[in-house]
Amino acid sequence: MKLKNYVHGKWEEGSGEGKPLYNAITGEVIAHATTAGLDFGDMLRYGREVGSPALRKMTFHERGRMLKALALHLFDRKEQFYEVSYATGATRPDSWVDIEGGIGNLFAYASLRRQFPNEPYYVDGATAPLSKGGNFIGHHIMVPKEGVAVHINAFNFPVWGMLEKVAVNWLAGVPAVVKPATLTSFLTQKVVEEIAASRILPDGALQLICGSASGIMDHVESQDVVTFTGSAVTGKMLKSHPRIVEEAVPFNMEADSLNCCVLAPDAVPGTPEFDIFVKEVRREMTLKAGQRCTAIRRVMVPENLLEDVQIALGRQLAKTTIGDPQTEGVRMGALAGKSQVEEVRSKVLELAESSEIVYGDLNNFEVVGADKEAGAFLAPILMRNDDPFKIHAVHDIEAFGPVSTLLPYQNLDDAIQLAKMGMGSLVCSIVTGDNKTARDFVLGAASHHGRILVLNEECAKESTGHGSPMPMLVHGGPGRAGGGEEMGGKRGVLHYMQRTAIQGSPTTLTAVTNVYQYGGKQTEKDVHVFRKHFEELEIGETVFTHKHTVTEADILNFANVSGDNFYAHTDVTSLDGTIFEQRVAHGYFVLAKAAGLFVDPKKGPVLLNYGIDECRFTKPVYPGATIGVRFTVKEKIDQEKRSEEDIAKGIVKFLVDVYDETGETVALATILTMVKKVDQS
């Protein structure tokens, strides 16, 4: 059987016999993979010309709902993915991280839509005033790139590796071409079969290459984005491709790295932290048979605790039953293929030239429910390097399997230095019950790591663990780890968008962004804004309120009601040497009085006040000052109905501009109101 590629919205076989793909447990051939005859340039054009326009027309909210629908579709069919995943050598817990973790990324980015407007674009940051009179301003707008995201993924997570990336580029409005590692591409293809069958995505949003993608880089253009996960050697070769350089194509690299875990000096045997440390290292060595880009490769321990850790970790590893993942009691399955076994064995032998194997054996170990010679099995290997500052191999060579090395250190500064000797990693962790130790280590080591996990008794039970990147946090690292960032919530989405500085008058930029810019034209209508439904309100629509002259009685009464008797409001004898000329009105009185001026009290479409953002008091208000309000529709944010019975509504942001008799602004705030829609469908 040949794996099919998903190209131009249909399934196509490559020509020729292709590369055989094996069951990691039995050694049997599952399928053959080939891309011979495929036109990669045509695939990228299809993504740009068909997928890109369709996604760019959608709003963030529409894209987010698309992701949610797809996540639900895949979650309902997850069991068929588990059945295929066993052939990669993965246990059920291994596959849970890959399959449900990947689907979880779709859910997470679907929810992230609420941090974006219901528009196809995103207005980034604050307005920049560029002129004295305020009639010339600047802002930033972000629009989807008009290219394709080309994802070149590793073999260890054939589902998560794809879904954690496409969730981000789809929310941004960019289509994808996914190239999974050929070794485990049969599982990726199974998931894409379900994605394609769902018809949830627009045409051209996803294409799949099962087999070699040699030559695809010759066709990338400046609007494309390339991401790579895998070995640093391959990543550097791709990153230096002439097209990447000539077209200035964004290239995000996430390379395997020598991640570490540190046992702090306070975490001695008998403390909860000592036990947490041992269990965490054992888990990271055996989960997915150690084939994780985030797995712990270097285990740093105070030299006086080295023997204790070696014994305790050895006891934990001895509980690991290796074999067929579908056999009861098996804790660790196989590596992804025999080629990986040979690769890991060769690296262990290299490390063994300068480090001692203190637990495990490359040849003598038992396998349950499977043929040890037929499958791609390897036992956990724990090594020890007693002089890690002089013997550098452990900081340079990675065995990408169930292999870790113990390294002693004398003090926390030594631990920080050892952590940095990996020359950049995806993740580092420290187990400590002492918060000062945690602070000193994080600040000392953060420059060389993409993520740092601090584990202690307080968080261990709820922690997702050393090796688990989270959708809303960045995944990547400096130096050897590739220098890139994936996921990261909103940060990741913006990676697939073009940030453009825009300049002009406040009125013009209001029209461009659909967000009212301070100083822009304001329009007054006959009907108060609180009498209008969500759909009827227009950006820039303004209520100019009646005015109120502030008295000393106002200030004293507000002090009595609020309990705020700060001296500047109540004790005029204490004002010498302050910035105040006389008794000053409370800022919150000014805001409360502003509400009294702009609110229309009758029952209408406004359901409630949702909150206040960006409140500033810009000028003191003294007795005798006369204040009024310019109350302007600043932004409208659509909301989805949570059920058939829910009221159809949206959030309207109003700019509250309170000014005095001189025309100067004395207070600025943005209030959020929940406003009913006319259309309740």
Catalytic residue numbers read 254, 293
Helix extents (H) in 36-137: 40-46, 52-57, 60-75, 78-85, 92-112
- In one letter, which amino acid is 380? P
Q: Which two tokens stand for residue 129?
A: 């005033």
Taking the C-alpha atoms of residue 297 and residue 425, their distance in angstroms, rounded to an integer, is 11
Cβ–Cβ under 8 Å, residues 44 and 220: yes
Taking the C-alpha atoms of residue 595 and residue 579, their distance in angstroms, rounded to an integer, is 27
Taking the C-alpha atoms of residue 468 and residue 292, their distance in angstroms, rounded to an integer, is 10
Q: Is 180 helix (H, G, I), strand (E, B) or coil?
A: coil
Tallying the residues shown for the chain, one arrives at 681
DSSP-derived secondary structure letter, 185: H
Taking the C-alpha atoms of residue 580 and residue 350, their distance in angstroms, rounded to an integer, is 74
- Cα angle vertex 666, ends 663, 670, to 5°? 110
Residue written as token pair 């009105």: 585
Instruction: Please give the sequence-ordered ranges of beta strands (E in DSSP) within 350-402, or none if there are none.
Output: 356-359, 381-384
Direct distance between the N- and C-terminal alpha carbons of the chain, in angstroms, rounded to an integer: 49
The values of phi and psi at residue 482, to 5°, are 110, -20
Give which of 49, 46, 41 is closest to 217, Cα–Cα: 41
DSSP-derived secondary structure letter, 47: I
- Cα angle vertex 168, ends 165, 172, to 5°? 140
What is the residue-wise DSSP string for 334-362? Answer: --S-HHHHHHHHHHHHHHHTTSEEEE--S
189: which residues sit within 8 A by CB, 6+ positions away?
3, 4, 6, 180, 208, 210
DSSP-derived secondary structure letter, 132: S
- Cα angle vertex 140, ends 138, 141, to 5°? 130
Taking the C-alpha atoms of residue 499 and residue 513, their distance in angstroms, rounded to an integer, is 13
Taking the C-alpha atoms of residue 2 and residue 4, their distance in angstroms, rounded to an integer, is 6
